[in-house]
Amino acid sequence: MKRIYAFFLLLSLLTLASCSNKNAAGEPKKIAVIVSTLNNPWFVVLAETAAAKARSLGYEAKIFDSQNNTALEADHFENAISSGFNAILFNPTDADGSIANVSKAKAAGVPVFCMDREVNSTKAATSQILSDSYSGCIAIGKYFVKKLNKKGKYVEILGLVGDNNTWARSKGFHSVADHYPGLKMVAQQSADFDRNKAMEVLESILQANPDIDAVFCGNDAMAMGAYQALFAAGKANHVQVFGFDGADDALQSIKEGKIKATGMQYPKIMAETAALYAQEYFKGKRDFPQKIPVAVELVTAENIKNYISN
């Protein structure tokens, strides 16, 4: 009798586990992956990894590109909610402006798991899996001071001003650099995390400040754009460039001596964790940690062999 009971108990558990992947109609549950932009290879990795992990768990997954536009992001949320998506894996365009979208999903019973970027609310998203940008840029700041021998003129190129990562990285960097009076920031300007904008921004800055020694950029795409501007101006061998992300082209550039350093983030870990959290939510879990920091590692010419194979 006990064996029969155990058999039916196991059968019930297996059936329950199977049903967690499907809607009431028997169709696979659907997960929306809404990302700030696909015009940056780093976010392409984040989005595609999240979608691939969701599919590997048995769910349907669709990627939405917000093109760094909060209004378009709002349309994606409306579409996801009205189309019956069961969870949203989310990379916000704006820490404040995206709260309304997340709150709307929550009100509709759709959990939202933020990836890499956060929203300025501890009640809207179900959980936020975030890079530790501040600590990562403290490490870059220390390396920056070392490579410049504590003196020189530099430019800072910021990311999106509405994104918390922009300011976490800037504050982490300045928490180190500002202690050295021999280091002078001659310009600070946003390029929206965009490579082409960063190139244009630095081209303009170089006209007024042709004698800079370094450029600190809030992400690798902007670092690559800054390097292009310096190369075109014939200054690439004299001005040191520092980025953040751990993007493939930046890693290759560090190996080739074009970029000095970057902060290695782990988009695949954040994306896969978000997908797994969605699965746990479907199975009934509700007590998720509000914020989960993911460590960032300093990558330089000294340790690049640990991050790139050829």
What would the mean pLDDT of 147-174 be, rounded to a whole number?
A: 96
d(CA 62, CA 52): 10
CB 243, CB 220: distance < 8 Å: yes
CB 173, CB 144: distance < 8 Å: yes
Q: What pLDDT shows up at residue 22?
A: 75
What would the mean pLDDT of 243-272 be, rounded to a whole number?
A: 95
At 40-66, the pLDDT tens digits run 888 999 999 999 999 999 999 999 999
CB 51, CB 63: distance < 8 Å: yes
Query: Considering only CA atoms, which of 64, 59, 57 is closest in space to residue 43?
Result: 64
At 70-87, the pLDDT tens digits run 999 999 999 999 999 999
Q: What pLDDT shows up at residue 229?
A: 98
Task: Count other C-beta atoms under 10 Å from residue 240's C-beta.
Answer: 20
Q: What pLDDT shows up at residue 309?
A: 66
Q: What pLDDT shows up at residue 310?
A: 59
Q: What strands, in cross-sheet order, belong to the sheet with 152-158? A: 183-190, 152-158, 214-217, 240-242, 261-264, 297-300
CB 224, CB 103: distance < 8 Å: no
* Averaged confidence pLDDT in the chain: 92
Domains 30-130+267-293 and 133-266+301-305 fall in the same CATH topology: yes
- Does residue 263 register a pLDDT over 70? yes
Q: The domain 133-266+301-305 belongs to what CATH superfamily?
A: Response regulator (3.40.50.2300)
Least confident of 2-16, 154-168, 257-271: 2-16
Q: Measured between alpha carbons, how far is residue 299 from residues 59, 265, 303 in Å?
A: 35, 10, 6
pLDDT-based confidence at residue 15 (cuts at 50, 70, 90): very low
Q: List Cβ neighbours of 229 (8 Å cut-off, separation of 6 or more).
A: 198, 199, 200, 202, 203, 206
Looking at domain 30-130+267-293, its CATH class is: alpha beta
Q: pTM of this prediction?
A: 0.79
Q: What pLDDT shows up at residue 42?
A: 86
- The secondary structure element, H or E, covering residue 240 is strand 240-242
What would the mean pLDDT of 90-113 be, rounded to a whole number?
A: 96
The helix/strand/coil state of 263 is: strand
pLDDT-based confidence at residue 2 (cuts at 50, 70, 90): very low
